[in-house]
Each structure stands twice: as C-alpha cells, then as structure tokens.
Chains A and B, each alone.
Chain A
C-alpha cells in the first residue's frame, strides 16, 4: 500500500450510469489530484485540490465532477460517460503542491460500455 487508497479497483459502467470513484490518503498531505492514464497517451491532469479547494480544472468535460470534502478524501463523480472515457484513473496526493513529489494510488480501471 502506498498510503493512497483508491476504490474500486475496477469499474464497468454503461453510458447512462452514475458512479463515483473514491480516493483516500493517510499521509497528512494537503493536496490531492485526479489523473487520467490512457494507453499510449501522456498522463492527463484532470483536477487539483489544495487545502480542499479546487485550484485547477484542466478543461475536463462536465460529465466528470470532483468533490473534496476534506483533505483526506477525494471523489470523482461520473455520469453519462462515453466509451473514450475508458482509462485508468489515478489519484495522487502531495504536500504543498508536490515540490517533494507525488504519492499515487493504484488507480481505478474504468471501462465504459
């Protein structure tokens, strides 16, 4: 375990479903991130939360909705996704925007059918 726990590990959902990805960190970090990892593409930063406030939203479609209720938890709410949204979704955390590096979770493998 890395100290960053993501659930579920795998998720298959239909395009009309609503689901949520969960991330929890036990490291006392004050920043959390959602990344999308697709095959043969660079890691895409989706959202950044620092001290529970969203500080970055990289032109992510509104069908992805993040939520950060406290500094230890981060959610990604999904609705009406498209097949091209199938990917590995990674959560990461850091102290002070990552000057010392990020700690990643194991990811959620999402398949949209």
Chain B
C-alpha cells in the first residue's frame, strides 16, 4: 500500500516568512498529487494538484508545489505567509484506486 509522509507536524512562522512543507510518497507508479488545506472550523479544500506536465504547479492564495519524481516528493511552498494561512495542510496521493493522505502539518502564523 501507498504511504504519504509529512515530516513537519507543527510549524510556527512569523508573517512574511517563507514556507516549505515536505511531502513524500512511496508509490513508484503513476500518481496524481494534491495538497488540501483545512482552515480552523472549516472543510478540507483543494489548494493545488499535479497530474502531469510542468512539475511546478501553482495553486490558490499564492501557494505552489514542486513535484520531484526522483525524490518521490511534492513539497508545498509559499514565499511570504500571512496570518490567514494558519491552518492544517494535508498532502494526498492517488494511484487511481485509492486516496492516501499524510498525517497533516499544522501551520501557525504569528502576526
């Protein structure tokens, strides 16, 4: 079975700091990759996704992620975080049969 690892469980940043959240998966075949965000008290919503093509994908709210196939990684980045980015971030991978979620990274941005 697939596994998805998010190495940072809790990240605390000051506003305007740069963000990078790690995500690694285990499957060697074709996958689609996703980052979901869950703001406090809200539903999980799609931040960005990678299917094919340019390995650098841009999502909503200034987020981007880079797919590095050789490293089985799909790290999430944002150059300058805002207080409103405080949320839980989930990496997810599908091999077409099932979705696999990481354990999530809690991001706290201090004003």
Contact = CB atoms under 8 A, between A and B. Distances in A.
Given A97-B98, A98-B94, A99-B94, A41 B103 contact: yes
Nearest to B44: A104
Contacts of B34: 101
Contacts of B32: 99-101
Nearest to B97: A97
Contacts, number: 46
A102 interface: yes
Interface residues of A, number: 21
Contact of B45 (A2, A48, A97, A98): A2
Contacts of A43: 90, 101, 104
Interface residues of B, number: 20
A66 interface: no
Interface string B15-32: 000000000000000001
Most interface-central of B34, B49, B98 (chain A CB within 10 A): B98
A81 interface: no
Nearest to B43: A106
B99 interface: yes
Interface in A23-65: 41-43, 45, 48, 56
Q: Which 7 residue pairs across A and B have the least CB separation, nearest first?
A: A104-B44, A106-B43, A43-B101, A42-B103, A104-B43, A98-B99, A99-B96
